[in-house]
Amino acid sequence: MSMILYPYTEVPKAFIFGLKIDIFAMKTIQMPYPELAKALGVENIYLKREDTHKYGSHKGRSIPLMIKNYNKQGINTFVISSSGNAALAAVLAVENRLKNNPEVTLSLKIFVGKNIDQKKLEKLKRTITCSDAITIEQVDNPKQKAFQLDKAGEAKFLRQSTDDLALDGYMELAQEITKIPELSAIFIPTSSGTTAQAIGQYILDRNLPIQLHIAQTTSCHPIAEEFDTKTSDEPSLAGAIVDKVAHRKEVLIPIIKKTNGFGWIIDNTQIQEAQKLVKTTTDLDISATSALSVAALQKALKMGKTFDGPVSCFICGA
């Protein structure tokens, strides 16, 4: 009998879909998909459903922890340059902390670009209920504006790509994924490399026989280009992969190699094929960014890679 592991808040029954659930082991859904595995040609595949996290994505592992820790140090004003998962996690974290700690004072300023996708902007605005504490401003250079506030000491920049406090939150995620019995490989979409670095370091520190594979796009691939070659220059459908500097690549690349993993550059055709395959075999609609993990696994298999046990593909959210 297969085991499904769900968030604590989403498991009111002992059995769902006829499968036994361990409600105390995990915070997001992690389950095998036999039909998807069969279609891919692997022994078993687990999808790590970070899109079911209460903060909306895997960013909820780290951003709330950063805010909480810095707030305890006396910092109560934060800034972030994001229009996606990181901003959503920051909004929810600030609002939850204010709600649960009436004595706490917090504020968050979100800088977004002038050309932000309007659907993303509207989603972000709808998430905000505490408008006196959280503001959004459209500017020409969001990251630069956030840097300026941080440098002036006016706000703490919530920047996971350079802040090692961000790694701590993803250690919990690494612990959850590596509980999959006989896991052989993890495939994860990667922008700055923060999540991948934390998971990879966890694997190495415990001498686990698990490969770490990262997936990037034709538009942004500063880490994956160490391993793979892009096949086109097309703008990618996976718009969340944006960090072209990737400060963590000097640390992450050796970690990937030590786990016998690889970095994959994925094009739009491969993304769409992965989305279609997942929909057909699991009935799940996954984002283009999430599809990178499955597309990278498909590409690895086509290149002759083999895996001795189950594989985990990371579904990160929007």
Digit-by-digit pLDDT tens for the chain (318 residues) are: 333 443 333 333 333 333 333 333 348 999 999 999 999 999 999 999 999 998 888 998 999 999 999 999 999 999 999 878 889 999 999 998 888 888 888 999 999 988 887 888 888 888 898 778 999 999 999 999 999 999 999 999 999 999 999 999 899 999 999 999 999 999 999 999 999 999 999 999 999 999 999 999 999 999 999 999 998 889 999 988 999 999 999 999 999 999 999 999 999 999 999 999 999 999 999 999 999 999 999 999 999 999 999 999 999 876
Residue 47: other Cβ atoms inside 10 A: 23
Count of other CB atoms within 10 angstroms of residue 136: 18
pLDDT at 318: 67
Task: Report pLDDT for 10.
Answer: 35
DSSP category for residue 4:
B
Q: pLDDT at position 21, please?
A: 34
Residue 205, Cβ neighbours under 10 Å: how many? 10
CATH 3.40.50.1100 fits 8-57+164-315, yes or no: yes
Q: pLDDT tens across 265-296, in order? A: 999 999 999 999 999 999 999 999 999 999 99
- Does residue 220 contact residue 231 with C-beta atoms inside 8 Å? no
pLDDT at 159: 94
Amino acid type, 119: K
Fold exhibited by the domain 63-157: Rossmann fold (3.40.50)
Tokens of 82: 């994001």
Q: CA-to-CA distance for 82 and 158, rounded, in angstroms?
A: 10
Q: Rounded CA gap, 224 and 269, in Å?
A: 18
Say whether 264 sits in a helix, a strand or coil. strand
Classified as helix, coil or strand, 189 is: strand
pLDDT at 314: 96
Helix (H, G, I), strand (E, B) or coil at 309: coil
Whole-number pLDDT of residue 17:
32
Specify the pTM.
Answer: 0.88
| SS3 state of residue 164 | coil
Residues of the chain with CATH 3.40.50.1100: 8-57+164-315, 63-157
Query: What is the C-alpha separation between 191 and 40, in angstroms, rounded?
Result: 25
Q: What is the dihedral of CA 27, 32, 37, 42, to 10 degrees?
A: 80
CA distance 252 to 75: 30
The residue whose two tokens read 């994959």 is: 264
Exposure of 298 in the CB half-sphere (CA atoms within 13 A): 21
What DSSP character marks residue 5? B
